[in-house]
Amino acid sequence: MAKPFASSADLGEKTRTLEVLADGVYALTAEGDPNIGAIEGEDFLVCFEALATPAAAKGWLDELRTHTAKPVKYLVLSHYHAVRVLGAAAYDAEIIVAHENTKRLIDERGQEDWDSEYGRMPRLFAHPETIPGLTHPTETFSDTYRIALGGDRGDLVLAYCGRGHTAGDIVAWVEKPRILFAGDLVEAEAALYTGDAFHHDWSGATLDAVKAFEAEALIGGRGGVTHGREQVDAAIEQTRDFIAIMLREVGAVHERGGTLKEAFEATHAALAPTYGHWPIFEHCLPFDVQRVWDEYEGIDWPRIWTAERDREVWDQLQD
Ligand SMILES: [Zn+2]
């Protein structure tokens, strides 16, 4: 029997956990659903990610409001994916900041990505009618963007570490408590979605740059918060290992002139013993393998996923 498309049959609600990681640093995790966070300045808030709809983001904001009533001055978008940006309206943020490549990707494929992700993960789109339209950053940067938090809180540094999960991922570094919001560049015991990724860059210099922060706590895109240097490095290295296995398996099949389907099966067999039980593993893998394959074909800029192309690749690989 064919597997249900992507996460379309995943309808069970997840338990959400709000953790206060340091004075004024909040992370909300949800058993493998997208994570989000917030950082307090003296008289304002910086929110990191926005979930898929304003209704979904409002639920998180209500929880955050039991800790602080400060207004949201900044909304940081770690990258362009719909399930992390389309809830932005709930925050009423003064400034929406993202990497310049994220702006380019939203302009180029934001609508297609919205349609694609809605089809893949309908459960995340609570009350989709509350989405007013695409989310566009109001400020962009190329290398770093510094926000002074005020008082003795130090700075929040947004940094580009190189191409990775997308062309425009950024991390948010809370300097004083040494806490890193890594977005989808790192996943803690959740499968990687790499359908728009640059696997060689990501598994090399980009993850090296993420590791170089030497964070004491790390919040990845999905999965629990990792605490302590050892666990943080372990999460980074698991992410690197997942990518390295895909590169190795797909590369070998491509090299010998095999098919995409063979590459998928080899990659699935190699990853499943260690990573097969992680959230969204079966969902992600066809799209991941297709993108690794495209990179070996010399396609540098990722092809746009449409709802139709999603189904084609799924039907070809996950039958
Ligand atoms: Zn993503």
- What's this model's pTM, rounded to 2 decimal places? 0.96
Distance CA 144, CA 274 (A): 35
178 C-alpha vs ligand 1 centroid, how far in Å? 23
For residues 188, 192, 193, 194, the Cα torsion angle rounded to the nearest 10 degrees is 130
Determine the distance separating the centroid of ligand 1 and the alpha carbon of 262, expressed in angstroms.
Answer: 26
- Residue 83 Cα to ligand 1 midpoint, Å, equals 8
Rounded distance from Cα 63 to ligand 1 centre (Å): 23
Structure tokens that stand for 114 in this block: 């919205």
Instruction: Answer yes or no: are the C-beta atoms of 72 and 54 closer than 8 Å.
Output: no
Question: Tokens for 175?
Answer: 């300097």
Start-to-end CA distance of the chain, whole Å, equals: 7
Tell me the CA–centroid distance for residue 254 and ligand 1, in Å: 26
CA proximity to 278, closest of 162, 201, 214, 193:
193
User: What pLDDT shows up at residue 8?
Assistant: 79
What's the CA-to-centroid distance between 152 and ligand 1, angstroms?
A: 33
Distance (angstroms) between ligand 1 centre and the Cα of 34 equals 9
Name the strands in the sheet holding 72-76, side by side, starting at the edge strand that comes first in the sequence. 17-22, 25-30, 33-40, 45-48, 72-76, 95-99, 139-141
> What 3-state class would DSSP assign to 64?
helix
Measured in angstroms, how far is the CA atom of residue 66 from the centroid of ligand 1?
A: 28
The CA–CA distances, whole Å, from 190 to 114, 222, 282 equal 22, 6, 11
Span from the CA of 146 to the centroid of ligand 1 (angstroms): 23
* Cα 130 to ligand 1 centre (Å): 21
How many CB atoms lie under 10 A from the CB of residue 306?
16
Distance 150 CA to ligand 1 centre (A): 31
Three-state SS letters, 209-262: HHHCCCCCEEEECCCCCEECHHHHHHHHHHHHHHHHHHHHHHHHHHHCCCCHHH
Residue with tokens 């959230």: 279
**Helix, strand or coil for residue 76?**
strand
pLDDT value of residue 2: 65
How many Å lie between the centroid of ligand 1 and the Cα of residue 76?
A: 14
Distance 71 CA to ligand 1 centre (A): 26
CA of residue 297 to ligand 1 center, whole Å = 23
According to the model, what pLDDT value does residue 315 have? Answer: 94
The CA 151 to ligand 1 mean position distance, Å, reads 33
- Distance from the CA of 258 to the center of ligand 1, in angstroms? 29
- Tens digit of each residue's pLDDT, the chain (319 residues): 568 888 877 777 888 899 999 999 999 998 889 999 999 999 999 999 999 999 999 999 999 999 999 999 999 999 999 999 999 999 999 999 999 999 999 999 999 999 999 999 999 999 999 999 999 999 999 999 999 999 999 999 999 999 999 999 999 999 999 999 999 999 998 899 999 999 999 999 999 999 999 999 999 999 999 999 999 999 999 999 999 999 999 999 999 999 999 999 999 999 999 999 998 999 999 999 999 999 999 999 999 999 999 999 999 998 7
Distance 163 CA to ligand 1 centre (A): 13
82 CA distance to ligand 1 middle (Å): 8
